[in-house]
Structure 1
Amino acid sequence: MNCCVVIPTTKSNYEQGFSAPLAWLFSGYENRVRGIYSVDLTPSAVESFDTFIVELNWFTTLHEFEKIVKFIREYQPRALILFGGLFAQIHYERIFQQYEVDYFIRGDNELPMKLFLEGCKPSLIPNMVGRDFENPIDYRFSAAEFERLEYSLDWFPDYGKYPRYRDSLTFPLPMLLTSKGGCCCIHSGCQYCLGSQTGVLESAYGREPIAMGQRTLMGQLSRLSARFRVFSLYVLTPFSYDFAGQFFDATAMIEIDSPVSLTQARDTLSAFRRCRLMLPLYEEGVMGKTIRADLDELLALEDEEHRLTFFLYDRDISAVAARLPESNRSASLTPIWTSRFFDFSFYRDFEKARSFSREVFYRFPFQLRGGPTTPPWGTPFPRRAKSENRDV
């Protein structure tokens, strides 16, 4: 097998442009797998692979996904195409109907992906779906498997070409998640990370979300800091982790969505050589309403190597403008973000997602460091007359 993992590039300004499992799914298979940004998917590149894995994690890349699949089929008609990601989990049946794809993995994909890359017959792989078969979800990720995850980006040598992934507010790979299969934070009616859609995710994965424990988290952080200079940590669980007395010689980008005390914030920052810590502005967590009373004390924790960013809503900017510099504010919770990128109706409604993904595709240019800005498989900006009411 000679496999190409295709990463879409029309992700708008989404700071978590990569799905976290990419950092561990292909570890150990660097001789069989090569990652490539879709904008670099030339005819010669397509012809050099016999198998493709196309990411469809965020609904904003659906239009690009369609173009990628058509381009692969044009230059490699007999290639095998496996697709996957969050949006794909919800709409895999529709995607099989709409596009010339071959395989999909339902639920957890660690073991199924391993078997697929090792050449096992797809119809014999648990969780695997093909055009003429659908295997049951017999494999489910367990908490014990957190400790066995191995991280590698060797399969994706061009990873650093996308400049957005290098800025200080972006979550770099590898990314360590404290929960798998959904968010374990307590947010009533959360729309930030689809936290209120636990039923949908449980149906897709065939299980409840699994949280990582203290010992496992510290062990994984030690493993990551020994191999990578930079990584990210996304805390999707109640913040019960104790960082007191810990030290990891690395740069970490950390997001915590649940309530965090002043002491916990101090211990977390000091546990890393360099750290950008993103916290909710609110006592209740990222979807809260009560502005923290200890904001000044939190800001006093900063130094040159340890910085804080706070999630806040536009409605609260004026209330904290005098106390919270712009450099400490995240743009993540502005109305367009919560109303579109994490509005579940865009994930639930396939046609709505396709329409908006087309808008994103034509609105945002492709940007690769030292690479082309126009993909060979489709011009990002259509040549059409300007219109006052243009609906791209």
Structure 2
Amino acid sequence: MAAPPNLPPPDKLLEMADQYLKELEKGPWPSHVAEMRKTGYPLHVYGVGLVARKSPWGPSVVKTKRLTGVLARIARDWVPKGGEEVHFRVFHTPGRFLPTSYLRGIIKVAREYGIGLVEVVGQTGAMVINVKSKEVGDAMIEALRQIGTDVGGSGDAIRELNTCVGPALCEFALYDTLKWFTEFRKDKKIQDAIAVPGFPYKFKIKFSGCPMDCGRANRADLGFIGTWKGAPEVDQELLRRKIEAGEVDPNDLVSKCAGGAISWDAEKKELRIDGSRCKKCMYCIRRAYPAIKPGRERRVAVVVGGGSKGRYGPKLGWFVGYLKPDEAQKGIELAFKIIEPWDKEAQAKVRLGDYILMAGLYQFIEKAGIQLEDTPRLIEKVPDNVPYRVLPEEERKKYAQFAEELRREVGI
């Protein structure tokens, strides 16, 4: 990467970087810079990046044996004094519940083999321990395994799994995300796919207990999101008390319902929800809980192809059907069905979502052999003169209706 234009001389650049860092230590709130000064992190590189408004890090490598979770970066040649940053991606506990004994062990490893810096919450789903490059070896791996974890989750493989806190802390959890996480983690095929990169690109699996999607499952290559069938349950008497107390505005629920499914009978003081129109956005549930709750018939929606980056930009996952809350093993089998056509046909560095865009969603469903409840299907019999024969029947009717309305409007 070329140096940013109009950079000051090296000495001046370091001076400005130090001023930026000191500014970030001011104020009554905790400062990440103040905490990082306590470690061996090359803080001046971070400061130079702030001054230049450009990443000061470039890719690097570090020699490892049989490991996929070790990443290295080196300061670019325009950064005075240089520096390196090496880190291990370490497996998390389900829901990121950290027993004190476990956390003490992680801190001990970080201090003995690293620079004393641990990133507990990150976008990768993994815990990150910054290490000294000379300490990357079997001794550190053994120390991590002694406290019940391991290194992994990098390269063109299944990355570290990610889940919300699920039923352990959240009243909205509609299936046991922590159990699913554990079932996936202990499966040998999943572990092998994490440890040995062999796919066209990275593959992320995430679990969210409800449609609020705290686990960001809709942004994963394969996501599992808790939901329900039909309309939410309404406790009319409790809802009336909440309305009378000013806690809930029924007109607000009606106006902000994403599917237009809610109606309010002011005379009877009853709220009705049309399950066929409910989009499961949970706005009414969040506003009026527990007077309004998710329906009792729970399901796990399966979405594929999501991701914040890709050749065609960020995208949310496509829905491909439902599993039951006790079908974690079927979820594991489904993961490898989904991976198979992508692994065979996709070019290197093509995410699953980009491959689906190229192949077509319904063709991908057919290739992967996905057979779940409510899986979208290609229509079987369509007249030859219909140009959009690959669409499902429901979508085809919508387009036909739109075309007819447009024809009437323009008078043809």
- TM-score range for the pair, normalised by the shorter chain length: under 0.3
Larger RCO: 1 or 2 (CA < 8 Å, sep 6+): 1
Normalising by structure 1, we get a TM-score of 0.27
Larger Rg: 2
